[in-house]
A and B are shown apart, each in its own frame.
Chain A
Amino acid sequence: MIEERFDAIVIGAGMAGNAAALTMAKRGMKVLQLERGEYSGSKNVQGAILYADMLEKLIPDFREDAPLERHLVEQRFWMMDDRSHVGLHYCSDEFNEQRPNRYTIIRAQFDKWFSSKVREAGATVLCETTVTELAQDAKGKVVGVRTDRGGGEIHADVVVLAEGVNGLLGTRAGLRERPKPDKVALAVKEMHFLQRETIEERFNLEGDEGVVIEAAGTISRGMTGMGFIYANKECISLGIGCLVADFQRTGETPYGLLDRFKRHPSVARLIKGSEVKEYSAHLIPEGGYKAIPQLYGEGWVVVGDAAQLNNAIHREGSNLAMTSGRIAAEAISQVRSRRAPMSAENLALYKKMLDDSFVIKDLKKYKDMPKLMHTNSQNFFLTYPQLVSRAMQNFVRVDGTPKTEKEKVTLKSFVNARSWIGLFGDAFRLARAWR
């Protein structure tokens, strides 16, 4: 099919793959990018929030033509029990700025645009092409790929694996393990369409202002998981995800969970009367720092979700993907400019540069959080949300009970549920993991 040889082959056209392909093409490298979908974005699923800073580093003037939905002026965190939510909302007019910091986006549309920039930069983007295998030489060095289009191997000096959280190729070639059920979450999502004005009224927005809600609590039924509600221009992205291991253990169904979330009184009023136009599902890397695989080797690097680079605590993934793709490309380009081979020894530069970036620093900071959240999921996702909700109700309901008695009831409910040792232990463990 393609007889020529490339400087680099990028597998996948998501955030990481597009960032890598763009960066290398801009530096004059001969890049082939392979994508199994009809177009970049047709297989990609995310909430989705776009982080401007990381995209500016790739496309400084992206605001001119990128398909952006709403710039975020408000972030809500909801701790939910079955009929209530306790909210922490941060809304600031300062986010109505010249160059807003975060936007909601619709991935299929955004990625198509991102891909057009990759093509403009000179990369060859081949869609509807599934890579079936990495081509390796006798010593195991990755020398190219084989695709389902036939025609033998396509060769390159280096292969960038941007194949996503469920990437098969790296695992098949023995470069990294398959994600384990307790290290990935399954999230399901629906796109709810409403009149633009209706969304703005319900979410208290003006113009292109946007808001995102991250929700945790009894909605995950004691499993480690979270729900989300993101306001786009004319639709709402709504979803919920929990660890695959928890689904496996409990027998809860993802669509059952989504349905309950949608019927929660705090949520139902936001989507009332909407028309659903898509139902999607995706895995999310949740293992954090300790789940990061070997990032480079002879003739290859791995970036983005495929490398498990996702900050579950801050719900950041696409920016880590973009940044790792860019940094890998910069490292490759540096090796190339020295006319050095794409060996593991030389590609170690990618890991060194990534270690120095926020990507690895942030993941390292929260290295103990995934385990804590998983082993204590009943407490953090069921018991505490219920207790806090009860406490808030007790605090605000006026019924003639003296306040000191109300406080005693609340305190007693916490101690009864978790004991003093449990309470202090949870606080200590959380503080230590957060540190």
Chain B
Amino acid sequence: MTVEPSVRVEDKLFYNRYLVDVGRPHIKVRAHTKPSAQLLALLRACPARCYELNDKGQVEITVDGCIECGTCRVIGEPTGDIEWSYPRGGYGVLFKFG
């Protein structure tokens, strides 16, 4: 799961403004022991790289940098791998330009 060395998504996300709804993530990954192909695809398809593998080989999400595009919903919701809602009103990413 290597990412092109010159691209650091974390740096890109610093440009953005967020209002994080602490303790209320709007996307949840279903508990699993071995991740499905769909879940593994999210590691690379998510443009904010919110999905990562933990040391047990499970896929985890940190929604703080989410830019609310819905790509993971399209891939991961049909299989039940993830649960997707929008953040509460006013929370999440706040685009200055959009």
CB within 8 Å of B: which residues of A? 36-38, 41-46, 48, 106-109, 111, 127-130, 132, 147-149, 165-166, 168, 178-181, 184, 186, 188, 190-191, 235, 237, 244, 247-248, 251-256, 258-260, 276-283
Using CB atoms, name the residue of chain A closest to B65: A279
Count of interface residues, chain B, beta-carbon cutoff 8 Å: 41
Using CB atoms, name the residue of chain B closest to A147: B89
Q: Are A168 and B86 in contact (CB under 8 A)?
A: yes
Q: Are B93 and A43 in contact (CB under 8 A)?
A: yes
Chain B residues, CB < 8 A from A244:
45, 71, 74-75
Complex: how many Å from CA A107 to CA B95? 9
Complex: how many Å from CA A41 to CA B94? 9
Whether A256 touches B73, Cβ cut-off 8 Å, given contacts A107-B97, A168-B84, A277-B15, is no
Q: Are A130 and B86 in contact (CB under 8 A)?
A: yes
Complex: how many Å from CA A180 to CA B74? 6
Q: Are A253 and B97 in contact (CB under 8 A)?
A: no
Chain A residues, CB < 8 A from B53:
none
Q: Are B97 and A106 in contact (CB under 8 A)?
A: yes
Chain B residues, CB < 8 A from A280:
16, 67, 93, 95, 97-98
Q: Are A148 and B47 in contact (CB under 8 A)?
A: no
Complex: how many Å from CA A283 to CA B74? 10
Q: Are A165 and B16 in contact (CB under 8 A)?
A: no
Name the residue in B15, B41, B48, B69 with the highest tally of chain A Cβ atoms < 10 Å from its Cβ: B69
Chain B residues, CB < 8 A from A178:
73-74, 77-78
Whether A278 touches B97, Cβ cut-off 8 Å, given contacts A178-B73, A244-B75, A253-B4, is yes
Using CB atoms, name the residue of chain A closest to B73: A166
CB distance from B12 to the nearest CB of A (A): 4
Complex: how many Å from CA A165 to CA B89? 18
- Within 8 Å by CB of A253, from B44, B70, B74, B88, lies B44
Q: Are A276 and B15 in contact (CB under 8 A)?
A: yes
CB within 8 Å of A: which residues of B? 3-4, 6-7, 9, 12-13, 15-16, 19, 38, 41, 44-45, 47-49, 67-71, 73-75, 77-78, 84-90, 92-98
Complex: how many Å from CA A251 to CA B45? 7
CB distance from A33 to the nearest CB of B (A): 13
Chain B residues, CB < 8 A from A41:
95, 98
A-B contact pairs, 12 of them (CB 8 A): A36-B86, A43-B98, A106-B97, A107-B95, A130-B87, A178-B74, A247-B71, A256-B3, A256-B4, A260-B4, A279-B16, A283-B69
Whether A36 touches B89, Cβ cut-off 8 Å, given contacts A255-B9, A283-B69, is yes
Per CB-CB distance, the 7 closest pairs between chain A and chain B, nearest first, are A166-B70, A128-B90, A108-B98, A107-B98, A279-B12, A128-B89, A281-B47
Chain A residues, CB < 8 A from B90:
36-38, 127-128
Chain A residues, CB < 8 A from B86:
36, 130, 168
CB distance from B76 to the nearest CB of A (A): 10
Whether A255 touches B47, Cβ cut-off 8 Å, given contacts A106-B98, A277-B96, A277-B97, is yes
Complex: how many Å from CA A180 to CA B77? 11
Complex: how many Å from CA A180 to CA B79? 12
CB distance from A15 to the nearest CB of B (A): 12
